[in-house]
Amino acid sequence: AASPMEVGTAQGADFPETEEERERKLREEEEDKIPAPIGNGGTTDRYVWTQQLADLSVNIPMPPGTKTKMIDVKITNNKLTV
């Protein structure tokens, strides 16, 4: 008899994707479509940012179905929280 830790871990088993796995794959596919930042900036797994002397741009992809009322943004001198 298989122990609880072994259930569902057999190699080659064809288990249906979970909703979380499907969402992760969609996010990865969407991230691949985002062009690399121009100039000073960077890319992380959660956002893309660029900056010049006078301005900063931060692009944060939101999950499908996100409504504007669901987003809480706080900007302080040292921190940006979304």
Structure tokens given for 48: 């893309």
Question: According to the model, what pLDDT value does residue 41 have?
Answer: 86
Question: According to the model, what pLDDT value does residue 32 have?
Answer: 66
Q: Report the residue count for the chain.
A: 82
- 10-residue mean pLDDT profile of the chain (82 residues): values are 44 69 81 67 88 88 93 91 89
pTM over 0.75, yes/no = no
Strands 80-81 and 74-75: antiparallel
Cα R_g (the chain), whole angstroms: 19
Cα gap 31→25, rounded to integer Å: 10
Structure tokens given for 35: 């062009």
